Structure 1
Amino acid sequence: MNVLILTDKLIMGGAEMYFCKLENYLNHPGLTFYYAAGTGDLYKKIKNKQHFIELSRSNHLQNLKRLISLIHDKNISVIHANSLRMVMYSTCVKKMIHRPLKIVYTKHNVTILERKVPNLFRYLLNKHVDRIITVSDFEKENLEEAGIDQNKIKTIYNGVDLEQFLFELKEKRKMFHIGILARLSEEKNHELFIDIADHLRDRPNILFHIAGDGPEKQRIADQIKARNLTDKVKMLGEVQNPETFIKEMDVLLLTSYREVFPMVIIESMAVGTPIISINQGGIKEAVIDGETGFLIKSHSTTDFCKQILRLESDHRQRLQLIERARGKVEKDFSLNQMIHQTLKEYLNCSQ
């Protein structure tokens, strides 16, 4: 059986890294895999370039023609779409080729269609998608409440490569480093991160680091400068090796307005960096408050600072936290588990 895996574009992001993991690690004697996506910096991570075709990021008609040609030439039986746009592509292609074709959809984020036109979203998934993978039970429950057929839905957690994100116990250091690793966009709420740094400006041993790039870069830099925090908060830009940045931090924060299940949470838990996160989406399925990290109920600067100072002052508790967090990742969030369960979804499509 031949499987085609699609995503929009190969820029840095959760769905795109998920696509790269599938491309790098999917292997089964009864399955052959092909891949298609728009160009981007992550293309360098593609290993099987002979099985990859590049899609246009703007010419949708051209993309449909290329996909139809590929599906005919390679006798594709299953399409795995990693965005709602790719679901729409797959649905159009299926109607145009007039032959059996199974569609699997991994839902990575909240889509405009489900917020603006929920009836159309429900119709599209119930009518045209055969299997739906959610990356958290929280998102699975949301789809069921939205009227999506629960028999189609399976939660498969994003997996961490435990050989790449190696666990490391941290020694207590003079300086205490607080980090955030996220796209510089409005929904990631870097303003709260800067507020926290401002609140702790009189603690000279605590420094803050922002890793990532995006449309809010200049506005965030201006905020740091306006608050006279240039010595307290450093912007590092895009990081090529996220595991290195995360390991260098003593605590990682997640301050977003909305999330489904961000990879950075379990990556941080894997390497031994404590996580303090806003309680959004499916984050609580990995971060058990007080056991594998700390959850903050609201976007409260005071509450974030309280937990930062708690971890900064209590090295023993920090060690206990990170050991339990690593155990949680090994048990529930390994890359091997993700790959194995995804393969089962493809094979179920052939039955």
Structure 2
Amino acid sequence: MTILHVSAVSNWGGGEHHIENLCSELALTNPEVKNIVFCVKNGAFHQRLKSTSINYIAAPLAIKIDFRFALQLAKLCKKNQIDLIHIHDTTAIQLAIIADKFYKLPPFIFSKKTSFEIKQRKKTLYKYNYLKIKKILCVSEATKSVSEKAITDHSKLLTIYHGTNLRTKSSETSFLLREKFNIENHKLIIGNIANHIRAKHLDTFIDVADRIINKEKNTNFFFVQIGTFTERTQAFIDRINALNLSNHVKFLGYTPNASNFIPQFDISLMTSQSEGIPQFIYESMYHKTPVVSTNVGGIPEIIQHENNGLLTEPYDDKTLTEYIFKIAEDSNLKTQFVNQAYKTLINTFTTTQMAQKTLEVYQNVLEESLN
């Protein structure tokens, strides 16, 4: 079979990482499946794909609904005899529907990778319930539950956890955090990896630093945040400066192979207000770095509170701070969390498992389309 993966996202994030992992895994385990990625020309994802062995085709996307992109999508399907289109974001759904109106395209599968509720608008509901979409692959049970409110045919909804790629793990970095920022050995590094988008709520990350450094007067912690800067970034920097935290909090921006830095973190701190399941948590579990996180989206499905990590409600910087202290002061608890988290990850949340479950969906959809 030949699968066309459509991404209308120009940046690089967890969703694009999922496409890369899925295509890479299937190339190893099922080389009879041909995967082609159709992406935005000159975007970060396009640049990333250039360094891989994944087949890809890039096209311009100047505006959200660019008819050139839709036309190119239709041509690709015909030229490459595409059997199934795997859509990976909401803009790509719209573009695929437009193309399907003018050209008869093969069946669609859509991956819903966030826990955002689907808006109850006529056009939005039409898009998500489009007849060509045969299955909707949800990143978590939480995402599936949210989607049920808008999807008419609940049998289309399936949960397939994305997982982590065990073959690509490394702790090699171009610099060491402690050396670069002159962090003394007695200080614990609290790390976060997330692009600067609303869902990640990095204001809470700053709130925790403020509480520990300024309110608790505890300077034995250093905060490192890695992720692509956006229009929100300057406000974060301004807050850090206003709170006199510039010597205690560093925002590195986009950093290649960011997850390789996780072994240098003493604690991984996730402060999201909305999530699917972040790769950052999977990677922390692999590298045996304890996780303190908000309990949003699918996170409670992989981090069980007080079993393999600690969870609290979103925006609760006070409890997040208490949990950081709790892990910092109890080495036995830290050991328990990281060992149990690693075991959970290996048993359940790998890209090998994800790829095989996704392939099974592909096969079922194609079989049904022939009947």
TM-score, structure 1 normalization: 0.91
Q: For residues 111-153 of structure 1, give each alpha carbon's deviation from its aligned partner in whole angstroms, at most 9, with x where no partner exists.
A: 68x2251x44333333331111000011112222334322111
Deviation at 1:309, TM superposition (A): 0.4
- Counterparts of 1:44 and 1:20, CA distance in 2: 12
Matched, 1:36 2:52: no
Deviation at 1:303, TM superposition (A): 0.5
Tell me the amino acid that sits aligned with residue 35 of structure 1.
V
Q: For residues 217-255 of structure 1, give each alpha carbon's deviation from its aligned partner in whole angstroms, at most 9, with x where no partner exists.
A: 211111111111111111222121122221111111111
- Counterparts of 2:116 and 2:315, CA distance in 1: 23
Q: Which ranges in structure 1 are unaligned for 5 or more consecutive residues?
A: 168-172
Matched, 1:149 2:161: no
- Counterparts of 1:147 and 1:12, CA distance in 2: 28
Tell me the amino acid that sits aligned with residue 37 of structure 1.
C
Q: Which ranges in structure 2 are unaligned for 5 or more consecutive residues?
A: 172-184
Partner of 1:93: 99
Shift in CA distance, 305/110, structure 1 to aligned 2, threshold 3 Å: closer
Shift in CA distance, 241/29, structure 1 to aligned 2, threshold 3 Å: closer
1:295 aligned counterpart, secondary structure: strand
Partner of 1:294: 310
- Counterparts of 2:73 and 2:162, CA distance in 1: 27
- Counterparts of 1:340 and 1:278, CA distance in 2: 30
- Counterparts of 2:36 and 2:199, CA distance in 1: 33
2:161 aligned counterpart, secondary structure: coil
1:245 aligned counterpart, secondary structure: helix
Residue identity over aligned pairs, in percent, reads: 26
Partner of 1:224: 240
Q: 1:108 aligns with which of 110, 113, 119?
A: 113
Partner of 1:17: 17
Matched, 1:324 2:328: no
Q: Which runs of 4+ in 1 moved over 6 A?
A: none
1:153-302 alignment, distance < 5 Å: 153-165=157-169, 174-201=186-213, 202-212=217-227, 213-302=229-318
Shift in CA distance, 179/14, structure 1 to aligned 2, threshold 3 Å: same
For structure 1, which segment, 279-288 or 101-110, has the greater mean C-alpha deviation from structure 2 after superposition?
A: 101-110
Tell me the amino acid that sits aligned with residue 18 of structure 1.
H
- How many residue pairs get matched? 342
Tell me the amino acid that sits aligned with residue 61 of structure 1.
F
Shift in CA distance, 178/233, structure 1 to aligned 2, threshold 3 Å: same
Shift in CA distance, 301/56, structure 1 to aligned 2, threshold 3 Å: same
Contact 2:108 2:132 in 1 (8 A): yes
Deviation at 1:65, TM superposition (A): 1.7
Contact 2:207 2:317 in 1 (8 A): yes
- Counterparts of 1:110 and 1:251, CA distance in 2: 25
Deviation at 1:166, TM superposition (A): 6.0
